[in-house]
Amino acid sequence: MASPIGVAIVGASGYAARELIQILLKHPGVKITTATSRQDEAPRLDALHPSLAKRIDLTCETFDADRIAEKAAFAFLALPHTASMAVVPALRERNVKVIDLSADYRLTDPQVYEDWYGHAHTDVAGLGSAVYGLPELFRDRIPTAGLIANPGCYTSTSILALAPLVAENLIERTGVVIDAKSGVSGAGRSPKLTTHFPECNESFSAYSVGRHRHTPEIDQILTTVAAGQGEAVEVIFTPHLVPMDRGIFATIYAVPRQAAVEHDLLDLYRSFYADSPFVRVVNHLPATKDSAYTNYCDLTVRVVRGRIVVLACLDNLIKGASGVAVQNLNLMLGCPEETALI
Amino acid sequence: MASPIGVAIVGASGYAARELIQILLKHPGVKITTATSRQDEAPRLDALHPSLAKRIDLTCETFDADRIAEKAAFAFLALPHTASMAVVPALRERNVKVIDLSADYRLTDPQVYEDWYGHAHTDVAGLGSAVYGLPELFRDRIPTAGLIANPGCYTSTSILALAPLVAENLIERTGVVIDAKSGVSGAGRSPKLTTHFPECNESFSAYSVGRHRHTPEIDQILTTVAAGQGEAVEVIFTPHLVPMDRGIFATIYAVPRQAAVEHDLLDLYRSFYADSPFVRVVNHLPATKDSAYTNYCDLTVRVVRGRIVVLACLDNLIKGASGVAVQNLNLMLGCPEETALI
Amino acid sequence: MASPIGVAIVGASGYAARELIQILLKHPGVKITTATSRQDEAPRLDALHPSLAKRIDLTCETFDADRIAEKAAFAFLALPHTASMAVVPALRERNVKVIDLSADYRLTDPQVYEDWYGHAHTDVAGLGSAVYGLPELFRDRIPTAGLIANPGCYTSTSILALAPLVAENLIERTGVVIDAKSGVSGAGRSPKLTTHFPECNESFSAYSVGRHRHTPEIDQILTTVAAGQGEAVEVIFTPHLVPMDRGIFATIYAVPRQAAVEHDLLDLYRSFYADSPFVRVVNHLPATKDSAYTNYCDLTVRVVRGRIVVLACLDNLIKGASGVAVQNLNLMLGCPEETALI
Amino acid sequence: MASPIGVAIVGASGYAARELIQILLKHPGVKITTATSRQDEAPRLDALHPSLAKRIDLTCETFDADRIAEKAAFAFLALPHTASMAVVPALRERNVKVIDLSADYRLTDPQVYEDWYGHAHTDVAGLGSAVYGLPELFRDRIPTAGLIANPGCYTSTSILALAPLVAENLIERTGVVIDAKSGVSGAGRSPKLTTHFPECNESFSAYSVGRHRHTPEIDQILTTVAAGQGEAVEVIFTPHLVPMDRGIFATIYAVPRQAAVEHDLLDLYRSFYADSPFVRVVNHLPATKDSAYTNYCDLTVRVVRGRIVVLACLDNLIKGASGVAVQNLNLMLGCPEETALI
C-alpha cells in the first residue's frame, strides 16, 4: 500500500473532532499528521480526549496554514461557524483540500447566511466553489471538489428522509412538518445550563422553535432536489432535546399530491438508495440505538390517514458529522466509500 | 375534620397505583382502607412498592366487591383494559363510586372500543353512565358522576393542548399532527424487551404509528369540544418512546383557518384555562422536567411559517393518570380541587 | 392554626433552594416571605425555577439582614461555603434563627476548616454556638439552637449507616471504607465540563479520591458518637459520580471487633432508630430510587466473609439537604418532625 | 491474504454475541460462516439485532456439531452456563477450537463450580484442558489451547486491577474489598423486573452481596497469581447496578504489607503491563465512558490514609466479554493481538 496521505484536524477539542480522529485511526489510507486547538497551552490529544490514550501521540498546535500545507493534503475543520471561513481561503490557496464541518459553506446565498447566522459572509468566492457534502445526493461532484461543506446533522436526516418524495414530486412542497429530536452531544462540548446534566437528564423539551439554523439548509437542498418543479420547498422544522448522548430522529409529515400507498413508497425509497451503502430502508420502525456509533441512516415510511409519515434516524456525530466527512474523503481519495466506516 | 372517607385501590401493583397511593397518603379527607392485587400470595403494599415502607401498613387482598363496598365509598381501578369492565358493574351495584384509570369507559361507542381494543364491550350500560374525567373540560359533570373514565395520558396532553383552538373553531379539523413523546413508565410495569433498559436507554424510537389506541379517544373528545361545528376532528397521532422515566411531551401542528397571531393565541389559552389551577400557560418552551412529579400541564403556542405549533407536557403518571384521578375525587368530594396535589 | 411564621430563603438559585421552597410550600406553619439571590437583575423565583410557576409569587432581592429580620424568624442559607459565614453574624445579631445548608459551621475546629476548605474561618464565635443538624443523633439539642449546621449529603448517609456500630463500639475505628456514589445534582447547578450531559451521562467515575471535604465531617461526628472509647474514627472515603439526577448510595466496609451476626446487627439498627421516623432499616438491599423524592434514609446490614457491610441511601437534595433542613425547622418550631415531609 | 478462517457463533441472540459479530465483521482473517440460536423459528441475525442490517446476511440454525465442524475452525459460545458444557465435548471431539464466554470452564475445581452454580459439572475432563482466557496473565498458554474459558467481566476488571499487587506480594491477601459497579447490559438481554427501565433507570443499587458468582473466580485466579506465597486470596466482592448501558468500574481497597508510595505503585503497574496493549495505566481517575466501546481496561492507583485504592474500568461487553474473546482468537491465530480491536 502507498504511504498514507497526511490529514489535519483543525479544531480538535470537540466531539466531532474526537469521533473523526477515532474513525481516521482505522483508515488505512491516511495518517493524522497535525491537529490544532485554540486552547492556550498546547494540549496533547489524549489530554483533550482521554479515550484517545495509547491510540494517538500528537500534541495540538495553534493554527498555521503553511504548516498544515506542509504536513497535510486534507484538512478537516471542526470549528464553530465564522471561524471556518476565516481560515479556509489560506488553506485553499495552499492547495489543501478542505472538508468543513461548520455551517459556513452550506448556504449558497450569502444573504441567507447573514440572515440566519447574524454575520456577513467573508469568503463569498469560496462559497461559490464549495460542494455540499451529502454523498447520497451529490456523489458525482464530491470527488473533484476542493472544498466540501459537510452537512448539518438535522439536515442530513431530514434531506435523506425527504429526497425521494421531493425528487419524484410526490408531496406538497410547503407545510412539510419535520419534528426532529436530538441527543445532547448535538449541542457541542461547551458546558451551559441547558446541557447541564441535572437540567436536561430526565427531560424532553423543544428549543429554537421556528428559528433553528438548519431550516434554510434543508429548504435549499430540497429545493435543489426538486429542481424545475416550481415553488421552493419550505419546511416547518422543530428541534427537540432528548436525554441521551447521541442520535437524531426525525418524524416527518407530508401531504401527498395523490393518494399514497405504503409499499410503493418503500419500493421507491429502496430504489432511490440502491447505490447508497449507508442508507438502510427498513420495514420496522427505526430506533436511534440501532444506528448509534455507525455511519448508517435508518429510515422507513408509513401512510397514516392519508398523510405520508417518514421516520428516519442516524448518529449525529457520525453519519451526521464525522462519518459523512470521512465518506466524503473516501470519494475524494477514490477509495471505497465504506473505508474505515464499517 | 370529619373522619376520613374510605377508598379502595383495585390493582395495586403497577406504577399508577403506587403514585395514587402516595398522593392519597397526603389527602386529609380520605383513607386507603383496602387494596387488591391479582398476585397469588397476598403481598404487602410495601413489598410491591418498597418506596412505601413505613408509609402504609396494608396487605393486598383478592378482589371482592362486597368487601370493597363494606370498606370504601370510592374505588380507584388501576387495572388493564377489559379487567375494569369485568368488575365495575358489581361495584356500581353496591353504590361504590368508581374512578377507572383503564380505557374501558372512555370511548362512548362500543363499536369503536371493539375496533381499537379487539374485545367486545361487556358493560354497555355502564358506558352510557360514565363521565370522562378531564376536569378542565367537564368540571360540571364530574361531581355527580358515579363512574369516572379517567383519561389516557397522551389524550390529556393532546386535548388540553388543542381544546382552545377547537372550541373557538380556529383550525382545520383534519390533518392535525400530534407528534407525541412519552417516558418509559407509560408502558407499564410488566417487563418486556422493548422496555428492557439496555434496549430503550440511549434510544429514541417511534411505536404504534397510526394505530395507537389513544387516537380515537382524542378524536372523540375534541369532536365533542367542537360540537356543532361540522366535521369530526381527526388527528394524525404518532407516539414515541423517550429514555426517561416520566413525562409526556406533545408537539402539535395545526393549520389555522385564518392567519394566526401568536400573542392572541396565548391570550386565548390563558383565558380558556383561567379557572384551571393545573394548566400553566407559559411563555417559554416547556420541558417535561418542570412538570414531572406534579399535577401540572405546561403548555405554550407558537406560529411558525403560518402553522400553529402547540407544545404541551405533563407527568404521565400524575396529571396523566393518578393526579387527575385525585382531582376527580376532589370534585366528587366537594373539597378543593388542589387537595393533596400541590 | 396560628398565622404562619415567616421564613427567608437566602440564595435561591440552586437545587437545594428549589427543593426547600417546594417542601415549605406544603408546610402549614410557615410562609416564605422573602428570598435572595446574588444575580444582578432581580429574578422572580419561577424564572429561576420554572417548576415553581403558579406556586409562588415572589421576586428575589439582594441580601439585607435588616429586611430579612423584619420579614422572617428563620433564614435558610443555601449559599456556597464562605458566603454563609459572611452573613450569619448579622442574622444572628438580629435574632433570626439560621439553618445553614453550607459547610461553614459543620467542623468545630476552625483549623480543620481551614485545612480542608482553604479559607480561614471568619466567625469562630458562631462556630462555637452551632448545633450539627442531624436530628437522628442530636434531636435534643436542635430545638433550642439559634444556628444549625445542616449536614452534608454524603455525611448524613455515612453517619446514619455507621452510628449504631460506632456507638456500640462494635468495629475497628480506623480503616472504615466508605465507598460512596452520588447523583449529579449533588455537584450543584453551575455548569462545568464534568457535569455536562455528554460527559457524565453513560459514565461512572470516581472523583476527589482521598480529599473530599466531607471526610473530616464524617470523622468528627463519628468520633463524637464514639465518645470516650479511645481513638478517633478515621474513614477512607471515596466519592463517585453516577449518571442519575439524585440519590446517594454508600457501601461501607467495617472490621468487627468480634464475630458479627447479621440479624443481631439488624436488630441493633432497628432499636437504634426506633424513634427516628425517617430512617428505614430494611431487610432487602436498598435502591436509591425507593428513597428518591422523599426524606427517608434506607439502610441494611450484611456480614460478608467476616466483614460488616452496611448499605445506605437517601435523596441528596431532600434527606441530604433540604428535607433535613425542614426536619430541623420542625424541631425548632415544636411541631411534628414529619410536617411537610411525608 | 489467505482465505479467511470460518468461525461459528453459538448462541447469537444476546448482547455479547451482537458485539462479537460486530468486531468479527472488521477482522480481515476470519469470516462468520454460521450462527445458532435456540429460538424456534430460524431468525436472521439482523432480525435478532436490527443494528446488523446490511452488515451480515446470515440466518440462525439450530445447534449441530457436525455442521459447525464442517463450516468453522473456531466456535464462540455465547450461551448461559450449563448450556456451554453440554456442547463443548462434541465440538472438541470434532477438533473445533472453542472460546467459551460462559462460566462453565472458568473454575478449575468442579466442586467449587457446583457450590456456586448449583449444578454438577458434566465435563470435568474438558475443565482440565481449558485455559483461562485473560491474555494479560496467560498470554503464553492461549495460543496452543483448544478450549478457552473467557473470563467474567467483573473478574477481568478485578484481576487486572489487583494482579500487580498480588504478584509482588505487596498486600494482605484476605479482606481485599472490591466494590464493583456495572452497567445494565451486564445483566443480559432477558427482560426482568430489575432491569425494566423504570425500575433501574435513575437508581443505584447493590445486588447479590456476598454471593456473586464471580467471587470464586477472582479468588482462584489471584491465588494463582500469588502462587507460592502462602494463603489464598479471598475478596469481599460487592456488585452494584448503575443506570447506564455498559461499563464496569471497580474501586478496590487493599491493606499494604508495608507503607505504600503512590508513584512507585504507578511505576509497578506500568512495568507490569508494558507489553499489554489493552491496559492503560493512567494518572487521572478513570471514567467508564473513556473505555466504553473499546477493548481497553483503564486503571490507576492511589494511596489514601495508608490504604491502597485501585480504580479500574472497562467495557463489560467488549474487554469484559467479546473483545477479549477476539483477543484470544488473535493469539490462537498468531495474528496481531490488536486485530479488529482498535
Pairing label, strands C307-314, A234-241 = unpaired
pLDDT tens digit sequence for C229-252 = 778 999 999 999 999 999 999 999
φ and ψ of C310, to 5 deg: -105, 135
Q: Which of A197, A199, A246, A288 has the highest number of chain C CBs within 10 A, making it the mutation to test binding with C?
A: A197
Residue C118 three-state SS: coil
C297 part of the active site: no
What percentage of chain A's residues is helix, strand, coil (to nearest 5)? 35, 25, 40
Residue B1 clears pLDDT 70, i.e. is over it: no
Q: Which subunits count as partners of chain D given 3+ CB pairs below 8 Å?
A: A, B, C
- The C-alpha cell at D203 is 437508581
B284 interfacial to chain C (CB closer than 8 Å): yes
CA separation for the pair B239, B220 (Å, rounded): 18
Q: Which subunits count as partners of chain A given 3+ CB pairs below 8 Å?
A: B, C, D
Distance from CA of D192 to the nearest CA of C (A): 16
Judging contacts by C-beta atoms under 8 Å, the chain B residues touching residue D195 are: 191, 196-198
Judging contacts by C-beta atoms under 8 Å, the chain D residues touching residue A290 are: 50-51, 53
Can you give the C-alpha Rg of chain C in angstroms? Answer: 20
Judging contacts by C-beta atoms under 8 Å, the chain A residues touching residue D277 are: 54
A177 interfacial to chain B (CB closer than 8 Å): yes
Q: Which of D21, D22, D49, D51 has the highest number of chain A CBs within 10 A, making it the mutation to test binding with A?
A: D51
A200 in Cβ contact with A184 (< 8 Å) = yes
Q: At what angle do helices A214-225 and A110-117 cross, to 10 degrees?
A: 150
CA separation for the pair D332, D143 (Å, rounded): 4
CA separation for the pair A161, C132 (Å, rounded): 61
Residue D160 three-state SS: helix
Residue C334 buriedness (CB in 10 A; 0-12 / 13-18 / 19+): exposed
Judging contacts by C-beta atoms under 8 Å, the chain C residues touching residue A245 are: 197-198, 201-202
pLDDT tens digit sequence for B278-326 = 999 999 999 999 999 999 999 999 999 999 999 999 999 999 999 999 9
- CB contact (8 A) between residue C311 and residue D179: no
Distance from CA of A65 to the nearest CA of C (A): 30
Distance from CA of D134 to the nearest CA of C (A): 24
The reported pLDDT for the residue numbered C141 is: 97
pLDDT tens digit sequence for A38-96 = 877 889 999 999 999 999 999 999 999 999 999 999 999 999 999 999 999 999 999 99
CA separation for the pair A155, A116 (Å, rounded): 15
The reported pLDDT for the residue numbered C290 is: 98
φ and ψ of A262, to 5 deg: -55, -50
A207 interfacial to chain C (CB closer than 8 Å): no
Within 10 angstroms of residue B263's Cβ, the number of other Cβ atoms is 10
Place of cell 447566511: A113
Q: Hey, which residues 132-171 in chain B have their CB within 8 Å of chain A?
A: none
- Cα–Cα nearest to C235, from C158, C150, C319: C158
The reported pLDDT for the residue numbered C128 is: 95
Place of cell 425507593: C290
- CB contact (8 A) between residue A53 and residue D280: yes
Nearest chain B alpha carbon to D183? B198
Kindly name the residue from B153, B200, B297, B313 that is annotated as catalytic: B153
CA separation for the pair D76, D6 (Å, rounded): 11
The reported pLDDT for the residue numbered D230 is: 77
Mind telling me the catalytic residues of A? 153
CA separation for the pair D62, D67 (Å, rounded): 10
- Cα–Cα nearest to C139, from C342, C330, C339: C330
CA separation for the pair C102, C309 (Å, rounded): 30
Judging contacts by C-beta atoms under 8 Å, the chain C residues touching residue A197 are: 184, 195-197, 200-201, 243, 245
- The C-alpha cell at D17 is 454475541
Band of the pLDDT at B38, cuts 50, 70, 90?
confident
- Average pLDDT of every residue of chain A: 96
Band of the pLDDT at A288, cuts 50, 70, 90?
very high
Residue C259 buriedness (CB in 10 A; 0-12 / 13-18 / 19+): exposed
DSSP string of C276-325, one letter each residue = -TTEEE-SSPPBHHHHTTSS-EEEEEEEETTEEEEEEEE-TTIIIIIHHH
D255 in Cβ contact with C253 (< 8 Å) = no
A53 in Cβ contact with A45 (< 8 Å) = no
CA separation for the pair C114, C105 (Å, rounded): 12
CA separation for the pair B11, A76 (Å, rounded): 59
- CB contact (8 A) between residue C285 and residue D181: no
B201 interfacial to chain D (CB closer than 8 Å): yes
- CB contact (8 A) between residue C195 and residue A198: yes
Ranges in chain C annotated CATH 3.30.360.10: 154-316
Residue D332 three-state SS: helix
Residue D249 three-state SS: strand
Distance from CA of D205 to the nearest CA of C (A): 4
Nearest chain D alpha carbon to A285? D50
How many Cβ contacts (< 8 angstroms) between chains B and D?
62
* Residue percentage of chain D with pLDDT more than 70: 99
Q: Which subunits count as partners of chain C given 3+ CB pairs below 8 Å?
A: A, B, D
Nearest chain C alpha carbon to B22? C342
Judging contacts by C-beta atoms under 8 Å, the chain D residues touching residue B244 are: 201
Higher local confidence (pLDDT), B40 or D290: D290
Residue A1 clears pLDDT 80, i.e. is over it: no
The reported pLDDT for the residue numbered B155 is: 98
- The C-alpha cell at A99 is 472538508
- CB contact (8 A) between residue C54 and residue B284: no
B234 interfacial to chain A (CB closer than 8 Å): yes
Judging contacts by C-beta atoms under 8 Å, the chain D residues touching residue B201 are: 184, 197, 201, 243-245
The reported pLDDT for the residue numbered C228 is: 73
Phi-psi group of A320: left, alpha or beta (phi > 0 → left; psi -120 to 50 → alpha; rest → beta):
alpha
- The C-alpha cell at B13 is 401493583
C53 interfacial to chain D (CB closer than 8 Å): no
CA separation for the pair B206, A250 (Å, rounded): 10
pLDDT tens digit sequence for C287-342 = 999 999 999 999 999 999 999 999 999 999 999 999 999 999 999 999 999 999 99
The reported pLDDT for the residue numbered B41 is: 82
- Whole-number Cα distances in Å, C330 to B189, B208, C91, C276, D295: 37, 50, 20, 14, 54
Q: What kind of fold does domain C154-316 have according to CATH?
A: Dihydrodipicolinate Reductase; domain 2 (3.30.360)
Residue B218 three-state SS: helix
C-alpha torsion C213→C215→C220→C224, nearest 10: 140
> What distance lies between CA A249 and its chain's CA centroid?
14
- CB contact (8 A) between residue B205 and residue A243: no
pLDDT tens digit sequence for D142-187 = 999 999 999 999 999 999 999 999 999 999 999 999 999 999 999 9
D226 in Cβ contact with D254 (< 8 Å) = no
- CB contact (8 A) between residue A309 and residue B238: yes
Pairing label, strands A131-132, A147-149 = parallel
Judging contacts by C-beta atoms under 8 Å, the chain B residues touching residue D197 are: 184, 195-197, 200-201, 243, 245
- Cα–Cα nearest to A276, from D23, D21, D54: D54
A118 interfacial to chain B (CB closer than 8 Å): no
What percentage of chain C's residues is helix, strand, coil (to nearest 5)? 35, 25, 40
pLDDT tens digit sequence for B156-191 = 999 999 999 999 999 999 999 999 999 999 999 999
Nearest chain B alpha carbon to C48? B290
- CB contact (8 A) between residue D191 and residue B189: no
Residue D38 clears pLDDT 90, i.e. is over it: no
- Whole-number Cα distances in Å, C129 to A108, C13, C125, C180: 70, 28, 7, 30
Please name the helix (run of DSSP H) or strand (run of DSSP E) that holds residue A311, with its range, or none: strand A307-314
Please name the helix (run of DSSP H) or strand (run of DSSP E) that holds residue D164, with its range, or none: helix D153-167
pLDDT tens digit sequence for B80-137 = 999 999 999 999 999 999 999 999 999 999 999 999 999 999 999 999 999 999 999 9
pLDDT tens digit sequence for A153-203 = 999 999 999 999 999 999 999 999 999 999 999 999 999 999 999 999 999
Lowest-confidence segment of A172-186, B29-43, B290-304, C116-130 by average pLDDT: B29-43
pLDDT tens digit sequence for A111-120 = 999 999 999 9
Q: What kind of fold does domain B5-129 have according to CATH?
A: Rossmann fold (3.40.50)
Judging contacts by C-beta atoms under 8 Å, the chain B residues touching residue A245 are: 202
Distance from CA of B309 to the nearest CA of C (A): 21
- CB contact (8 A) between residue B245 and residue D198: yes
The average pLDDT across D320-342 equals 97
Distance from CA of B286 to the nearest CA of A (A): 6
Q: Which of A182, A205, A302 has the highest number of chain B CBs within 10 A, making it the mutation to test binding with B?
A: A205
Residue B63 clears pLDDT 90, i.e. is over it: yes
Judging contacts by C-beta atoms under 8 Å, the chain A residues touching residue C243 are: 197, 201
Judging contacts by C-beta atoms under 8 Å, the chain A residues touching residue B246 are: 202
B288 interfacial to chain A (CB closer than 8 Å): yes
D296 interfacial to chain A (CB closer than 8 Å): yes
- What single-letter amino acid sits at A320? G
- CB contact (8 A) between residue C201 and residue A184: yes
pLDDT tens digit sequence for A134-150 = 999 999 999 999 999 99
Cα(first)–Cα(last) distance of chain B, in Å? 20
List, in sequence order, every beta strand (DSSP E) within chain C.
5-10, 30-36, 74-77, 97-100, 131-132, 147-149, 174-182, 205-206, 234-241, 248-254, 279-281, 297-304, 307-314
The reported pLDDT for the residue numbered B141 is: 97
φ and ψ of D117, to 5 deg: -105, -10
pLDDT tens digit sequence for B195-230 = 999 999 999 999 999 999 999 999 999 999 998 777
Pairing label, strands A279-281, A234-241 = unpaired
The reported pLDDT for the residue numbered C230 is: 76
Ranges in chain B annotated CATH 3.40.50.720: 5-129
Within 10 angstroms of residue B37's Cβ, the number of other Cβ atoms is 22
Pairing label, strands C234-241, C174-182 = parallel
- CB contact (8 A) between residue B236 and residue A181: no
Please name the helix (run of DSSP H) or strand (run of DSSP E) that holds residue D77, with its range, or none: strand D74-77
ipTM field? 0.97
Q: How many residues does chain C have?
A: 342
Q: What angle do CA B241, D15, C242 make, to 5 degrees?
A: 65
